Amino acid sequence: MSVRMPELDAEILGRRDRIVTALRSIVPGEGAAPFCTPAQLVVALMTKWLLVFEDSRSQTVWLGKGVPRKWLEDGKKILVANVPTRWGRLSFTVVSHLRSGVIQAHVQLPRAIGATSKLRLRVPGNAVLKSVTLNGEPWTNFDVSDETITIPAGIGGSLSITARY
């Protein structure tokens, strides 16, 4: 017996895509989905958490918390668009100019977001975060050991962040 893989419209990480689902439809006569269906459903959620993680205990939304260091090598770019969160949709772009000692980020948060936002920049090598500007102004709310830049709750909208190493 062959099972046809249906095409579905799906919204994954806030982006409309046509995907061929890896999930099999219920096999006629068996009355149940294949055993691995729940595991396959987790992939999209885990990918979202790698990029945007909502910590309900601390009312914090993490941006890039699980991003591998390799993704921030010089010349690389991370683009995350329209991700749904409980506070509204958000987007961010991170561009690495690490050879010049700079990483630039543009973050679009919901206006008056009710959560603290933390941008994590896990850079490769031994580069150490030295200074940050937020919308062109010096910003001191960053943690060198955690590799994070913190944006307090209530600050939303379009934010331009420059991290110097």
Query: Given this model, what pLDDT does residue 36 score?
Result: 61
**Residue 33 domain boundaries:** 7-49
Residue range 102-129: average pLDDT? 96
What are the angstrom distances between the C-alpha of 63 and each of 37, 50, 116? 28, 8, 11
DSSP, collapsed to helix, strand or coil, labels residue 52 as strand
Whether residue 29 is contained in a domain is answered as yes
Is 60 in the same domain as 28? no
Is 23 in the same domain as 68? no
Is 68 in the same domain as 132? yes
Query: Given this model, what pLDDT does residue 42 score?
Result: 80
Is 131 in the same domain as 56? yes
Is 45 in the same domain as 58? no
What are the angstrom distances between the C-alpha of 162 and each of 85, 136, 148? 24, 8, 12
Contact 33, 24 (CB under 8 A): yes
Query: Given this model, what pLDDT does residue 41 score?
Result: 72
Query: Given this model, what pLDDT does residue 140 score?
Result: 98
Is 58 in the same domain as 45? no
Report percent pLDDT > 70 for the chain. Answer: 76
Structurally, the chain folds into a number of domains equal to 2
Mean pLDDT estimate for the chain: 83
pLDDT value at 121 more than 70: yes
**Tokens encoding 158:** 């379009």
Q: How would you list the strands of the sheet with 90-97, edge to edge?
A: 77-83, 90-97, 102-109, 157-164, 131-134, 137-139
Query: Given this model, what pLDDT does residue 52 score?
Result: 97
Is 44 in the same domain as 56? no
Whether residue 56 is contained in a domain is answered as yes
Provide the CB-side half-sphere exposure for 61 (13 A, CA). Answer: 27
Instruction: Kindly report, residue by residue over 72-115, the tens digit of the pLDDT.
Output: 999 999 999 999 999 999 999 999 999 999 999 999 999 989 99
Whether residue 1 is contained in a domain is answered as no
Whether residue 2 is contained in a domain is answered as no
Query: Given this model, what pLDDT does residue 2 score?
Result: 38
Reported as type and span, the H/E element at residue 41 is: helix 37-51
Query: Given this model, what pLDDT does residue 60 score?
Result: 96
Q: What is the CATH number of the domain that holds 101?
A: 2.60.420.10
Q: Interior CA angle at 111 toward 108 and 113, to 5°? A: 95
Query: Given this model, what pLDDT does residue 65 score?
Result: 96
Is 15 in the same domain as 88? no
More confident residue, 105 or 38: 105
More confident residue, 44 or 96: 96
